[in-house]
């Protein structure tokens, strides 16, 4: 099945105004937003959609407190929609909505949508790196740093679920929808990739008790690690609380920086994820902090070499970390 990845995540939220401001400050473009909610898009049209929790148009919530109501996957064509309808229709209700999309639930109760993808093409250079021994990617006199750079999320990268039964959840996505496991963190869960993308994963499942079932985080791809560091720094300066990062994951190799949010989950910036085709052999490693991240930074006050040691060094001012790193998120 030619499923590309998540086109949109739909949330029923407590505070539409706070969530709208958060998603706008994160860098998404408001589309049709009002006091009742609306859509917040990346450059390719993938999006976060919010509405009031009591909006009758939303699918019913899970028994837990998660605000995620629906994950909408983009597919290549109507033939894929028909194949999904036929497969899932064998043992559950599949609803055809007025817009032509499908709606059904997975084996653990998450509501899923499927639509011919809304992703639109765009052209935007990636971050360029000059390195000795390789052809220059930036011409002479082209500087890499632009403090005023406009940074916009490019595409919805992935979503992470807390689930009470990773084996059952994985079997559904692999056996029924054609996903495959690209890597596995033992004690946490699998990274899953649908057939229509080379991204390391668009879904990660983490084993948790039933009362925690829901979304742990979602993220959008940025253009490179410098964009991630600058976007995250701006976010901190706007008063948003860093949860974990910045750093770089081992599984997927993506740079990351996670923040708390009013959507009842963490929200991540990510950049530079590995691509894998069907020749890749999945790794299986025990979950640990060392397996989760290659390295992790802690933001401190800026320092310039103008007089005295930097923060945290003997003889210098005390360090000022902003967050405590977590150990179990992918």
Using the CB atoms, write b or e for 39-55: b if 16+ within 10 Å.
Answer: bbbbbbbbbbbbbbeee
8 Å CB contact between 268 and 205: no
DSSP 174: I
Span 72-122, pLDDT tens digits: 999 999 999 999 999 999 999 999 999 999 999 999 999 999 999 999 999
8 Å CB contact between 216 and 150: no
8 Å CB contact between 298 and 213: no
Take residue 228 and report the two structure tokens written for it.
């991630």
Q: What mean pLDDT, rounded, does the chain reach?
A: 93
| Across 257-283, average pLDDT | 98
**Residue given tokens 């979950």 in the structure block:** 287
Query: What pLDDT was estimated at residue 330?
Result: 47
Of the candidate CATH numbers 3.10.180.10, 3.10.129.10, 3.30.310.80, 3.40.50.280, the domain formed by 3-120+153-296 belongs to 3.10.180.10
In angstroms, the CA 4 to CA 114 distance is 10
DSSP 172: I
Residue 321: is its pLDDT beyond 60? no
Span 180-237, pLDDT tens digits: 999 999 999 999 999 999 999 999 999 999 999 999 999 999 999 999 999 999 999 9
Query: What pLDDT was estimated at residue 308?
Result: 66
| Across 131-156, average pLDDT | 95
- More confident site: 60 or 314: 60
**Torsion angle, alpha carbons of 47, 53, 57, 59, to 10:** 80
| Across 259-278, average pLDDT | 98
**Residue given tokens 């902090």 in the structure block:** 289
Span 280-307, pLDDT tens digits: 999 999 999 899 998 889 877 777 887 6
8 Å CB contact between 43 and 153: yes
pLDDT-above-90 percentage for the chain: 88
Query: What pLDDT was estimated at residue 65?
Result: 87
In angstroms, the CA 196 to CA 77 distance is 11
Query: What pLDDT was estimated at residue 317?
Result: 65
In angstroms, the CA 224 to CA 156 distance is 15
pLDDT band at 251 (very low <50, low <70, confident <90, very high): very high
Span 159-171, pLDDT tens digits: 999 999 999 999 9
**Torsion angle, alpha carbons of 8, 12, 18, 23, to 10:** -10
Query: What pLDDT was estimated at residue 249?
Result: 96
| Across 307-316, average pLDDT | 65
Residue 246: is its pLDDT beyond 80? yes
8 Å CB contact between 195 and 73: no
Dihedral sign, CA of 233, 220, 256, 162? positive
In angstroms, the CA 2 to CA 81 distance is 9
Span 111-137, pLDDT tens digits: 999 999 999 999 999 999 999 999 999
Phi/psi-derived region of residue 18, left when phi > 0, alpha when psi is between -120 and 50, beta in every other case: alpha
């Amino acid at each position: 099945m030619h499923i590309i990845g998540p086109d949109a995540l739909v949330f029923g939220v407590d505070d539409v105004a706070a969530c709208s401001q958060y998603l706008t400050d994160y860098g998404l473009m408001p589309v049709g937003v009002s006091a009742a909610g609306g859509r917040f898009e990346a450059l390719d049209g993938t999006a976060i959609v919010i509405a009031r929790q009591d909006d009758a148009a939303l699918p019913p919530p899970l028994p837990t407190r998660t605000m995620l109501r629906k994950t909408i996957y983009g597919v290549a064509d109507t033939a894929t929609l028909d194949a999904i309808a036929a497969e899932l229709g064998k043992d559950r209700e599949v609803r055809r909505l007025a817009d032509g999309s499908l709606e059904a639930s997975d084996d653990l109760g998450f509501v899923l949508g499927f639509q011919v993808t809304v992703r639109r093409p765009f052209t935007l250079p990636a971050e360029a790196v000059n390195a000795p021994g390789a052809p220059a990617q930036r011409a002479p006199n082209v500087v890499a740093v632009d403090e005023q750079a406009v940074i916009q999320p490019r595409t919805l990268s992935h979503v992470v679920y807390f689930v009470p039964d990773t084996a059952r959840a994985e079997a559904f996505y692999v056996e029924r929808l054609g996903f495959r496991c690209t890597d596995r963190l033992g004690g946490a869960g699998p990274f899953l990739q649908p057939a229509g993308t080379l991204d390391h994963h668009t879904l990660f499942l983490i084993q948790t008790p039933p009362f925690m079932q829901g979304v742990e985080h979602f993220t959008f791809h940025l253009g490179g690690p410098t964009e991630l560091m600058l976007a995250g720094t701006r976010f901190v300066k706007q008063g948003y609380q860093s949860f974990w990062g910045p750093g770089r994951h081992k599984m997927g190799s993506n740079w990351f920086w996670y923040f708390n949010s009013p959507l009842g989950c963490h929200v991540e910036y990510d950049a530079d994820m590995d691509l894998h085709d069907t020749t890749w052999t999945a790794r299986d490693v025990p979950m640990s902090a060392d397996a989760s991240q290659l390295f992790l930074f802690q933001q401190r006050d800026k320092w310039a070499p103008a007089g005295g040691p930097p923060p945290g060094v003997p003889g210098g001012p005390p360090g000022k970390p902003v967050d405590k790193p977590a150990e179990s998120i992918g």
